[in-house]
Structure 1
Amino acid sequence: MTIDQYISGMRMRTLALSVAPVWIGTVAGVGIVRDRAATSSAPRCAVLHGGASCVPDTARVVAVAVLCLLVAVLLQVAANFVNDYADGIRGTDAHRSARAIAATLDDDLDTPADRMEVPPVRLVASGVPPKHVLAAAIANAALACACGVAVVIITGYWWFVLVGALCLAAGWGYVGGRHPYGYIGLGEPSVFVFFGLVATLGTTHAIAGALDAAAWVGATAIGLVAVSVLCVNNLRDLETDREVGKRTWAVRMGRTWGTVCTIALVAIVMLGAAAAWTTTSVLGERLAHLSVLNAFLGILGALCALLTGWFASLDIAKRKYMRAMRSLGLLALATALAFNGFALMV
């Protein structure tokens, strides 16, 4: 496998879905720690022990946040390679070989806009030995495990080992194994759980040793963005998924209702950003931590969320799925930015 092939297999454009939940979880954790420090005489956390009864210093928060980010990104990269491997050996990605896509570009598509809508190539389908792709998945999963062990050592939360094992099992079971759950319509709920709740709430708990309502709201919002990305991906591949028996939500609902459902998910996130903006504007100076910086970040993030969500919805309706996924990646980051501002003002 060449470096270019490895980078292609990482699916870099999707990694915002790993960055955003850790960003949100970190902000929520910092908010909890800030309030704890202001309202109690809790001691500083020990070097290798955290919890809800102590206040971590900046170095500890940064170390845990960076390690959580590495865990999330590496696990997603590993899952991307597993998907390429499993779908490749099943023949699901036969239409995604370099030769097939080159033929499509040469024969059917004339404008740059049309060419941008061609799905990217897949490694196994293009002739890369499956064992090389599987090895890349295992290597990234091993690195994620190493970072996860570091988080466990720093925080003392040994039950994170079980969470990590569940994440690994979910990454493999999505399309791997004899009965992949992604082929029976459970991929969308699993994305909400692992890219939304687990990644966000796990980061918050690792930093602060506790959770609050803000963390749950942020986890839900970013989970909905992740589900919408998978729904768009499945709408793009609806015909080929149906042919190989992959029963995603898009296949089960059909293109029309699948499109409506996906746009509704995006709309919920947009409404959440607008509601946060409205609420904090009404509360005004009664907010405990109102500052120019936090207000600026919140408003900027909300505006970006509304714009990217609007453009993504239009692209979904027009079946411009590749462009919609790029907009949804930006929506994930905009959601995190808005949360960064609004959550720290409360």
Structure 2
Amino acid sequence: MNVKAWLSAFRLRTLPLALASIGMGSFLAATRGAFSWAIFSFCALTTILLQILSNLANDYGDTVNGADSVERKGPARMVQSGQITLGSMRKALVLFVALSLASGICLLYLSFGFQVQAFLFFFVLGILAIFAALAYTAGRKPYGYMGLGDLSVLIFFGLIGVMGSYYLYTQQVDLYLVLPALSCGFFSVAVLNVNNIRDIESDKKAGKYSIPVRIGRGKAIVYHWVLLISGVSAALLFTYFQYSSWTQLLFLVTVPLFIINGKAVKNKVEPHTLDPYLKQMALSTLLFVLLFGAGNLMS
């Protein structure tokens, strides 16, 4: 087995972004005195497994559908380059579906025990998350090729990721949490947008109609700034409504990082020069969550 190839296919650099939304939900639950290490551990494990599943499905689907070709300018994909066979990747997809389900069921039991309605509701959400991971670029009609990836990321990395994880701890709904959930969602979409701007030419040839392919690079840059500004604005609005201490503004330390990312997306014309800013945006989002959460805990 080519361990290096599989680790590359896992795309470990995307995992900080996957942890951002459940980190936000966990911090917010902790401010209500409802944090649990057991729930956090299985929440993190389930999220990581789903993210790896999504990455493997993306490697598989983009190769089958032609988006990952020799003309693509980003990092090499393992199926397209021949380092992992289609058959091996299909087996890995089945394995990670099973692991995600097993981890998710353990998480729901820890959270709800024998509360059947809550258990079933979140189980269905888990099935939808698995479907979303697989259907983004794999299958007969991958929704990522229709330009719906941004909406999916906003929902699963934002609203469901934050509010769902918060509910696992508290079994309560707080409508104000829509705001930090949207912050995580907007920043996560920004990561996807950097990726899609980088791949705009190869995606266009493959018939993958991402948002940048549909609206062009110039408008995609404007769209990127809208995402960044909206993410910060949603956090500021939440702080305004829930203000109790200056520490709640600690997340503003990350604003220069988002400005750096926005400028890079505008100025870096060659696709390969944008690649480092995928990681930079993901890590900036995670730092935003850590500072936002810590600031609210200290308030």
TM over 0.5: yes
Identity of aligned residues (%): 28
Matches within 5 A, 1:207-246: 207-246=169-208
The structure 2 residue matched to 1:95, chosen from 70, 73, 78, is 70
> Is the Cα contact below 8 Å between 1:31 and 1:343 reproduced in 2?
yes
Partner of 2:26: 26
Counterpart of 1:73, as a letter, is I
Contact 1:195/1:226 (8 A) holds in 2: yes
Checking the alignment, whether the CA contact within 8 Å between 1:22 and 1:68 is kept in structure 2 is: yes
Tell me how far 1:229 sits from its aligned partner: 0.8
Cα-Cα RMSD: 2.2
**Alpha-carbon distance, 1:275 to partner:** 6.1
> 1:311 and 1:11 mapped to 2: Cα distance?
23
Shift of 1:176: 1.3
Tell me how far 1:237 sits from its aligned partner: 0.6
Superposed counterparts of 1:1-346, under 5 Å: 1-32=1-32, 34=33, 61-95=36-70, 119-127=74-82, 128-156=84-112, 157-158=118-119, 159-272=121-234, 279=240, 287=244, 290=245, 295=247, 298-303=248-253, 305-319=254-268, 320-344=273-297
1:218 Cα deviation after fit: 1.5
Moved more, 139-148 or 229-238: 139-148
Contact 1:67–1:148 (CA under 8 A) maintained in structure 2: yes
Local SS of the residue matching 2:208: coil
Distance 1:244 1:172 in 2: 19
> Could you tell me how far 1:28 is from its partner in structure 2?
1.4
Deviations 1:66-113 (A, max 9, x none): 11111111101001000101111222211278xxxxxxxxxxxxxxxx
Shift of 1:177: 1.1
**Separation in 1 of the partners of 2:12 and 2:99?**
17
Distance 1:325 1:248, change over 3 A: same
Q: In structure 1, how many angstroms separate the alpha carbons of the residues matched to 2:232 and 2:183?
A: 9
How far has the Cα of 1:174 moved from its partner?
0.9
Closer, same or farther in 2 for the Cα pair 1:163/1:141, shift >3 Å?
A: same
TM-superposed deviation, 1:30? 1.9
Q: How many residue pairs align between the two structures? A: 288
Following superposition, the deviation at residue 142 of structure 1 comes to: 1.7
CA contact (8 A) 2:53 2:93 kept: yes
Tell me the secondary structure at the aligned position of residue 124 of structure 1.
coil
| Contact 2:182 2:234 (C-alpha < 8 Å) held by counterparts | no
TM-score, normalisation: structure 2: 0.89
Using the alignment, how far apart are the partners of 1:299 and 1:260 within structure 2?
Answer: 26
SS at match of 1:216: helix
**Aligned pair in 2 of structure 1 residues 72, 197: CA closer, same or farther (>3 Å)?**
same
CA contact (8 A) 2:67 2:202 kept: yes
